[in-house]
Amino acid sequence: MNKRKVSLLVYDFDGTLVDTLLDISNAVNLVLEELGLRTLSRDTIRKYVGKGVERLMAQSIDGTNYADLPCAVELFRKHYSKNLMNHTRFYPSGREILDHFHDKKQAICSNKPEDFVRRILQSLDSTECFDAILGGDSLKSRKPDPEGLLHLLDRFQCSPEQAVMIGDSPVDIETGKRAGVYTCVVRFGFGDSKEIDAAGPDCSIDHLTELKHLFY
């Protein structure tokens, strides 16, 4: 496959650059325990990550007799805020790939609340790697609405052909396609492989170092 020239790399966060699953799962289960509900396996919670905190908690309490979603969301924010970095780390070569593309514009477009993204990046000493950081509450809409991605293209005066959206789920692929941007999916993240295949990304990788061979 020929290398593709890009000037902007836009990354999803959870499941793409950073492995946050254990800390998210533990926070969800702390909420469920506090509410007197059954806890969930990490694999079950993995399927709920990626569409924002509200959706995460809505799915986590689904099938129970608990109906106060705003309270569940607030409890999650409380527990997760206290336990952001217990187990969270870059995926292998995550920081290396950010350094490799330091001469490009790099941005995050996540459905995670922006404050959590920034706090994690600060703990990983890598905030300065990014020219822009968008969370699920940064703009009016969230992925798969392409608003965030289009905002980044406009901000950096970058054509869709010169950008790539890198994520781990069908949500990221749909976002990129709706913005007319090339899509690259990582296979090691939280997304289901069959759903990823059905979404039809332009390319896929098994390790972040492969980005060096795909883009320049």
Q: CA angle at residue 205 from 165 to 145, to 5 degrees?
A: 25
Residue 11 bridge partners (DSSP): 108, 166
Q: Give the pLDDT confidence of 77-121 residue by residue, as tens digits.
A: 999 999 999 999 999 999 999 999 999 999 999 999 999 999 999
Q: Regarding the domain with residue range 8-19+88-214, which homologous superfamily does it belong to in the CATH classification?
A: HAD superfamily/HAD-like (3.40.50.1000)
User: In the CATH scheme, what is the code of domain 21-82?
Assistant: 1.10.150
List residues with catalytic annotation.
Answer: 12
- Where exactly are the structural domains of the chain? 8-19+88-214, 21-82
On the question of pLDDT at 196 being above 80, the answer is: yes
> What's the start-to-end Cα distance of the chain, in Å?
13
Output the CA torsion 83→51→172→92 (10° steps).
Answer: 20
Q: Give the pLDDT confidence of 152-185 residue by residue, as tens digits.
A: 999 999 999 999 999 999 999 999 999 999 999 9
Phi, psi of 62 (to 5 degrees): -60, 140
